[in-house]
Structure 1
Amino acid sequence: MAAQIFSAITVIIVGVGGCVAYFWGANRLVDIIFPSRGVQGAAAIDNLRRQGMIRPWLFVGPAMIILTIYLIYPVIETLRLSFLDRGGVNFVGLANYQWAFGDREFRNSILNNIIWLAVVPAACTFLGLIIAVLTDKIWWGTIAKSLIFLPLAISFVGASVIWKFIYEYRGEGQTQIGLLNAIIQYFGGQPQVWISLPFWNNFFLMIILIWIQTGFAMVILSSALRGIPEETLEAAVIDGANPFQIFWKIMVPQIWGTIAVVWTTITILVLKVFDIVLTMTNGQWNSQVLANLMFDWMFRGGGDFGRGATIAIIIMIAVIPIMVWNIRQANKETGGH
């Protein structure tokens, strides 16, 4: 543990220090090559103009290089592999795509993803909005928000391990250490292996992601609610509107753009959900989703680069329209800036 902590601290120091050294050194080099001090007239103006043209690229350039290496190239390579066979050598055309839409497990994964998409974004956004409104009305609202936001700081694997203990099942005659089964047994019910119940186990897994992402939705929507002019709310109260009417007819319409952005952001996350399913069920008991199916085909059972890449491309195609729409909505919220 000590070695891991030391390694993490070292990486942080080296990483942050390296960034500081790079930007300081790069700016210093620009000042040396194109000096603006000690130079008179047009030469000084030209050097300042050149500095202004180069300096933005000192910040953007490394990010563009990293994106090219770790995002653009992998996308192109994945697209290429999707047209190749199992070993990624022989061209097979659209055979992998034909297999995907004819495969029963692939269709089941799509169905599970659709269920996740129908439940998780809606639940997170709704709960986040309700909590944001309620916590603004109580004196200990900041404490409540901090507690609700806290799960977002936990990794998906860590959160899954926590909830695995909640859903834990022990055999008949043994003491149930899982919180849910312990409660059910206390009230005379029959303990269950919750994560192995087909169809319903998807909802038990969704609860984990809802628990994590509700804090994100709450923070964003709380900020949007504070941007509603007080005069509008006061006018509604004077006109006789009750709290329910103020919420649905004044608050929600004024932050609808933010609600949509939060909804679509969580939707993109759900399309890529992987860690929770892998940790909790490993895709068993009909809980498989597309990202886990891609992982299985790409890295397990000897690996099938063609089919794994095909599923990855299908996930990307599903994400892109939502991402584009999300960016446009965010631009509208900020006035295009």
Structure 2
Amino acid sequence: MEQIIFALVVMVLGIAGCIFYFVGSNYVLDRVYGIHGKSPEVAAKNLRRIALIRPWLFLGPAFLALTVYLIYPVFASLYISLFDKTGDTFIGINNYTWLFANDEFLQSFMNNMMWLLIVPAASTFLGLVIAALTDRVWWGNIAKSLIFMPMAISFIGASIIWKFIYDYRGDGVEQIGLLNAIVEFFGGTPEAWLTMPGWNNIFLMLILIWVQTGFAMVILSAALRGIPEETVEAAVIDGASGIRIFFQIMIPQIWTTIAVVWTTITILVLKVFDIVLAMTNGQWDTQVLANLMFDWMFRGGGDFGRGAAVAVIIMVLVIPIMIWNIRQESKGGR
């Protein structure tokens, strides 16, 4: 109860603080550069000053937060990655040369690449198919709500749900995991799914696909509804089948949106951490870059230099995709 009360107090104080800042800063601005009782020349000059300053009163907190929590950490990580474990001795790019000769890093990198190949493709494809199908049935909105629901769950919450699905209690013990219960029902042998080499990565990916399919579905459904009806009707009159209309008429018209959804999920996959941490903690060859960075920085390794080097690698992988994504969104907006 104390935690709930504390959280509510923090929320109330935060909202009140925001209101006080925006109302108070605009009041002060209007008082400092007032126009009432001023000569036309002074009033015009003050109006120009107000027009220049007021946007920054709203953007200022966001820029401050971005500087403190994004821009500064980027340069700090680059700086720390050039030092040894203690942070006292400058070692240049030694941390990076060590990374690319380290088997654990290379395995984590390959696992991330496998996530990149499977998760964005599967999530986008399933989201697109579901969006197209649910628009054709009367209960489509109900189906969309159910499919989108996992988006409201944190990755840790989703991992706990799927941990019960994959749960394994050993031979001769009653299984409570849904997957093993199904296997037993059909006469199969229960398995420790999360320890199966290669397949365990796929089982972890299913969690993120389950969560992100709803996101892809919502965005792509909106894009499909934006396709002019005349285009589809003309294809129907010409005798085109439903599959041909879908692949040759509809998809080309929303290709930019598909690409943006794909790259947005790709950026998320490059930073995947919570699911691996909660499900396997990187054991059984499921390690990924973000979890490896966490291990080196805060656990076991305790080496901030190497941890920061992994963080820089993740950032370097994300930046080109992010730039391309922003450009595609800008083109779509025009």
Moved over 6 A (4+): none
- SS across alignment from 2:50: helix
Q: Tell me the equivalent position of 1:14.
A: 13
Q: Tell me the equivalent position of 2:119.
A: 120
Distance 2:161 2:2 in 1: 25
Percent identity reads 65
Q: Tell me the equivalent position of 1:254.
A: 253
Q: Map residues 210-225 of structure 1 onto 2, 5 A cutoff.
A: 210-225=209-224
Q: Tell me the equivalent position of 1:313.
A: 312
In the TM superposition, what is the alpha-carbon distance from 1:112 to its structure 2 partner?
Answer: 0.4
Which has the higher mean CA deviation after the structures are superposed, 110-119 or 29-38?
Answer: 29-38
Distance 1:89 1:200 in 2: 42
Distance 2:131 2:3 in 1: 38
Check if 1:139 corresponds to 2:144: no
Q: Tell me the equivalent position of 1:80.
A: 79
Check if 1:267 corresponds to 2:266: yes
Listed one character per residue, the Cα deviations across residues 310-334 of structure 1 (whole Å, up to 9, x for unaligned) are 0000000000000000000000010
Distance 1:137 1:61 in 2: 46
Q: Tell me the equivalent position of 2:100.
A: 101
Distance 1:213 1:13 in 2: 32
Distance 1:11 1:147 in 2: 32
In the TM superposition, what is the alpha-carbon distance from 1:5 to its structure 2 partner?
Answer: 2.4
Listed one character per residue, the Cα deviations across residues 9-65 of structure 1 (whole Å, up to 9, x for unaligned) are 222221122111110001111110011233341221111111100000001111111
> Does structure 1 retain, via aligned residues, the 8 Å contact 2:131–2:218?
yes
Q: Map residues 167-316 of structure 1 onto 2, 5 A cutoff.
A: 167-301=166-300, 303-316=302-315
Listed one character per residue, the Cα deviations across residues 105-151 of structure 1 (whole Å, up to 9, x for unaligned) are 11100110010000000000000000111111111111111111110
CA RMSD of aligned residues (A): 0.9
Distance 1:330 1:167 in 2: 38
Q: Tell me the equivalent position of 2:149.
A: 150
- SS across alignment from 1:158: helix
Amino acid at match of 2:196: L
Listed one character per residue, the Cα deviations across residues 240-286 of structure 1 (whole Å, up to 9, x for unaligned) are 11110110001100000000000000000000000000000000000
> Does structure 1 retain, via aligned residues, the 8 Å contact 2:295–2:301?
no
Distance 1:136 1:202 in 2: 33
In the TM superposition, what is the alpha-carbon distance from 1:302 to its structure 2 partner?
Answer: 5.1
- SS across alignment from 1:212: helix
Amino acid at match of 1:38: G
Listed one character per residue, the Cα deviations across residues 74-101 of structure 1 (whole Å, up to 9, x for unaligned) are 1111101111001111001111111000
For structure 2, list consecutive stretches of 5 or more residues without a partner in the other structure. Answer: none
Q: Map residues 49-64 of structure 1 onto 2, 5 A cutoff.
A: 49-64=48-63
Distance 1:123 1:37 in 2: 62
> Does structure 1 retain, via aligned residues, the 8 Å contact 2:108–2:287?
yes
In the TM superposition, what is the alpha-carbon distance from 1:66 to its structure 2 partner?
Answer: 1.2
> Does structure 1 retain, via aligned residues, the 8 Å contact 2:128–2:217?
yes
Distance 1:53 1:109 in 2: 49
For structure 1, list consecutive stretches of 5 or more residues without a partner in the other structure. Answer: none
Distance 1:117 1:36 in 2: 57
Distance 2:199 2:283 in 1: 13
- SS across alignment from 1:145: helix
Taking structure 2 as the reference length, what is the TM-score of the superposition?
A: 0.98
> Does structure 1 retain, via aligned residues, the 8 Å contact 2:128–2:220?
yes
> Does structure 1 retain, via aligned residues, the 8 Å contact 2:224–2:250?
yes
- SS across alignment from 1:37: coil
Amino acid at match of 1:177: I
Amino acid at match of 1:99: W
Which has the higher mean CA deviation after the structures are superposed, 116-125 or 84-93?
Answer: 84-93
Q: Tell me the equivalent position of 1:45.
A: 44
